[in-house]
Amino acid sequence: MVSPATWLRYLVQKFDHSIAIGLKGYKATKVVDKSLGDAMAAHFLRGKLTECFWNKGKEMLPTIGEEGGTLLVRKLPVADPTYVSVGDIVVLKDPTKTDNHLVRRLAAVEGDEMVSKDEKEEPFVLEEDQCWVLADNESLKPKEAYDSRIFGPVSMSDIVGRVIYCLRSTIDHGPVMNSMDSMQKDLPVLEVELNVDELAANHKG
């Protein structure tokens, strides 16, 4: 049973999301025949803040099992510090295969200095809208991990969501460890929108 206070926090976040989506569409001239208010209302009344996503591979062990996991992903209208933080597990567009998506942990954002383990390489600072993502599995070599150590910085705008829950099997599932700020924000979303039976029905394992 979701408490009234949780519902209120959820609705506030849903309203904020609807505003961001409406403004994003308006700026991209996607809102033509409808007013901005109508577009925001449609998102608020019919839209969900989450969607299911399947991921498989050893790059994100132990957070996501090698055999794969069904993820509950919180959709992000804009990938900026308001919505995403260092430490979050994010879904982003594959920088080398535009039709694919990756799941990696956000390790650094614009303004952060990056230092290579190779002493021959000079430190560099991430530029505006750039971020650095890494695989969780530290036992993998960079080429196997396929993260920013291979393809370099990626655009924050390529981030489409934050993973908030992982179902590895019907008996092994739970919230994922993101930044403390994001986990606090996602708590009411989890309480309202999480449906473990639905995740299990979509599970490919």
Task: Show which residues are catalytic.
Answer: 59, 104
Give, to the nearest 10 degrees, the angle between helix 36-46 and helix 4-27. Answer: 140
Contacts of 180 by beta carbon, 8 Å cutoff, 6+ apart? none
Element (H, E) at 199: helix 196-201
By CB atoms closer than 10 A (0-12, 13-18, 19+), residue 159 is buried
- Give the separation between CA 87 and CA 83, rounded to whole angstroms: 12
Query: What is the widest separation between alpha-carbon atoms in the chain?
Result: 57
CB 164 within 8 A of CB 74: yes
